Amino acid sequence: MTDKTNNVISINGTDYDTDSFNNEQKYVIAQIKDLQARFEVEKFKLDQTQVALHSFTNALMKSLEETKEEVEVEKVAS
């Protein structure tokens, strides 16, 4: 026996059996599923990019602070 719940989707609170969809509707559902999957992949990449950007920004700020401190020490020593 086949589990029919795999073929049911809910849209705006209404359940639809996708087996009853016409070819165009099935195509649109396939597009939506593919776009949802792509969105998750892109979000994953964006999260990685944001963390990397934050890390490099912090590294630059730390380096600039260290350089500033070195210049101040040199001025005192002079």
Backbone torsions φ then ψ of 58, nearest 5 degrees = -65, -40
- The string of pLDDT tens digits covering residues 1-17 is 445 557 899 999 999 99
Is residue 21 a contact partner of residue 29, using CB atoms and an 8 Å limit?
yes
Q: Tell me, rounded to whole angstroms, the distance of Cα 59 from its chain centroid.
A: 24
CA quadruple 64, 65, 71, 72: dihedral, nearest 10: 160
* Structural domain spans, the chain: 4-77
Beta strands in 1-78 (DSSP E): 8-11, 14-17
Q: How far apart are CA 49 and CA 6, in angstroms?
A: 35
- The string of pLDDT tens digits covering residues 54-73 is 999 999 999 999 988 888 88
